[in-house]
Amino acid sequence: MRTRPTLSWTPPADLPPGTTDVEPVADALSTGGVLVLSGAGISTESGIPDYRGEGGSLSRHTPMTYQDFTGSTRARRRYWARSHLGWRTFGRARPNSGHRAVAAFGRRGLLTGVITQNVDGLHREAGSEGVVELHGGLDRVVCLTCGDLSARRELARRLEEANPGFEPVAAGINPDGDADLTDEQVGDFHVVPCTVCGGILKPDVVFFGETVPPQRVEHCRALVRAAESLLVLGSSLTVMSGLRFVRQAADAGKPVLIVNRDPTRGDRHAVTRVALPLGTALTTVAGRLGVPVDDRSAT
């Protein structure tokens, strides 16, 4: 069953306040067994905006839903025009200090795993291993007819050839790699089919209104069961796809720690919320633990 997308959440006035004290996070990491759950906020310092934070893209942009994409040729043309342009910027984004700190914690053996709600691949690029990309990855494309998987860079090449001179100026880029274009700028953008069967191509990501594959959800639930604590990084937890793991950890009596500047839907389940930028908070924690943060991925 597909559900309607949850695009907004209004924090109640009685949520516990955030803190700037990173000591609880350092304490949890020092004992190991930490599972990381990251959201769009960890990638903002890489130039990718988040959905719901200050200046978040939902204030100007409604993400494509699975139902619109599969049900409308016009919607697919609009999506691929915007996504093709956005990929030129999105694909050049590089890991920031937050991603590199998470990778460093993993190399030190302090983490049991990393689950990310992001589709940018920056945890992998920073060196984290075994990352579960809950919502998939924009660097892959899947055919909805035959299931063939292919590289996004190959689709980008084909779209360039099919749309010579397509150089509109976008008003901005969104966390899903979708650039802000008007209908006039989209024009008669030409969408290319699957090279195997001629079917409809879709980025290998979970759209709003689409469900995460059940086996992926169960894998994440197993990671929560195996962890000693859950560390949420840069997620408002507005959508259930991430919030359910917070609730699972809290119900099992496992500490939930959140690093996010704004209140989140999971604050009531957390022992603390650190209201600091991710890069600042995580590099401070790494320094306190004596964990060197490799910066080679930034170059």
Rg (CA), the chain: 19
Q: Taking 80 as the threshold, does the pLDDT of residue 258 lie above it?
A: yes
Judge whether 52 is annotated as a binding position.
Answer: yes
Q: Which of the four pLDDT bands, split at 50, 70 and 90, describes residue 118?
A: very high
Q: How many Cβ atoms from other residues are within 10 Å of residue 144's Cβ? A: 14
- Check residue 59 and give its pLDDT: 45
Query: Averaged over 104-127, what is the pLDDT?
Result: 96
* Residue ranges of domains in the chain, CATH in brackets: 19-48+95-135+211-299 (3.40.50.1220), 60-92+139-205 (3.30.1600)
- Check residue 168 and give its pLDDT: 85
Q: Taking 50 as the threshold, does the pLDDT of residue 297 lie above it?
A: no
Pairwise pLDDT comparison (60 vs 50), residue with the higher score: 50
DSSP 8-state class, residue 60: T
For the chain, give the mean pLDDT.
89
Judge whether 38 is annotated as a binding position.
Answer: no
In degrees and rounded to multiples of 5, residue 230 shows phi and psi of -120, 125
d(CA 282, CA 258): 12
Judge whether 53 is annotated as a binding position.
Answer: yes
The 10s digit of each residue's pLDDT in 188-198 is: 999 999 999 99
Query: Averaged over 247-271, what is the pLDDT?
Result: 97
Residue 176 Cα distances to 58, 87, 121, 183, angstroms: 11, 9, 12, 19
Q: Which of the four pLDDT bands, split at 50, 70 and 90, describes residue 277?
A: very high
Q: What is the pTM for the complete model shown?
A: 0.88
Judge whether 199 is annotated as a binding position.
Answer: no
* Span between the terminal Cα atoms of the chain, in Å: 43
Pair of tokens at residue 13: 């006035």
Pairwise pLDDT comparison (173 vs 202), residue with the higher score: 202
Residue 73 Cα distances to 70, 86, 196, 204, 276, angstroms: 8, 20, 20, 18, 43
d(CA 94, CA 91): 8
- Check residue 8 and give its pLDDT: 63
Query: Averaged over 129-133, what is the pLDDT?
Result: 96
Pair of tokens at residue 37: 């759950």
Q: Taking 60 as the threshold, does the pLDDT of residue 72 lie above it?
A: yes
Q: Which of the four pLDDT bands, split at 50, 70 and 90, describes residue 63?
A: confident
Q: Which of the four pLDDT bands, split at 50, 70 and 90, describes residue 232?
A: very high
- Check residue 179 and give its pLDDT: 85
Judge whether 242 is annotated as a binding position.
Answer: no
Among 89-93, 119-123, 274-278, the least confident range:
89-93
d(CA 232, CA 9): 18
Q: Taking 90 as the threshold, does the pLDDT of residue 178 lie above it?
A: no
Q: Taking 60 as the threshold, does the pLDDT of residue 55 lie above it?
A: no
Residues tagged active-site: 135
